[in-house]
Amino acid sequence: MPDADAFLTKLKQCYLAADMHLQRKFNRSLPFADALFDRWERAKLLGFGQGASIYNSSLIFGEVTVGEDVWVGPFTILDGSGGGLKIGRCCSISAGVHIYTHDSVLHALSGRKAPLHKSPVSVGECSFIGPHSIVKAGVSIGSHCVVGAHSYVNRDVPDRTIVAGSPALRVGVVEISGDEVRLKYDREET
């Protein structure tokens, strides 16, 4: 298959050139698709807000609305198939985050007799969801919130709240005074 071999060679050369460019310009090396495709362009094609970006390795399902200046990291899942997912402006959705608007737990346990659970999810403005966190269907995360890494968010998170753990529990609050932001933990480190 000389045509296939030639195509593969060209494809590898293309990736290596893109990867070298990223290394020189940003001191990073990305997987094939993330290196080749512009994340701001993809966000624009998906109808996300001005200045938003989403890596090519991210999966999008159903109705997903994303505000301005939102960063969606690599290897994320944004599932709006169970009633819609809305993410407000200026949020950071870290690498590996999964946000679901449906689940099949009862459906599976009942031998597929129970319906899928479907419920929308919303994330307010200026919130941060830490790496590898999971947000369950039906949850509302407020504005100016922090979700710690590896958390399982299975209940609503009020504005200006810090949650962490599995299941995620309140561990502090976000205090904002003018342009100053402070994370105040319920139990200060000693």
Task: Look at residue 189 and tell me whether its pLDDT is greater than 80.
Answer: no
Do 95 and 20 share a structural domain?
Answer: no
The pLDDT value recorded for residue 81 is 96
Q: What is the pLDDT of residues 141-181, one digit of tens each?
A: 999 999 999 999 999 999 999 999 999 999 999 999 999 99
> Which pLDDT score is estimated for 3?
87
State whether 67 and 156 are in the same domain: yes
pLDDT at 61 over 80: yes
Mean pLDDT score of the chain = 94
The answer on pLDDT for 190 being more than 70 is no
With contact defined as beta carbons under 8 Å apart, do 131 and 149 qualify? yes
Domain around 14 = 1-36
Residue with tokens 């994320």: 76
Residues 134, 178 within the same domain: yes
Burial of 91 (0-12, 13-18, 19+ CB in 10 A): buried
- Tell the burial category of 105 from Cβ atoms under 10 Å away from its Cβ (0-12, 13-18, 19+): exposed
Q: How many degrees, rounded to 5, is the angle at CA 146 between CA 143 and CA 148?
A: 155
Percent over 70 (pLDDT), the chain: 98
- Residues 15 and 42 grouped into a single domain: no
CATH of the domain at 139: 2.160.10.10
Q: Are residues 30 and 120 in the same domain?
A: no
Give the pLDDT of residue 28: 85
More confident residue, 9 or 64: 64
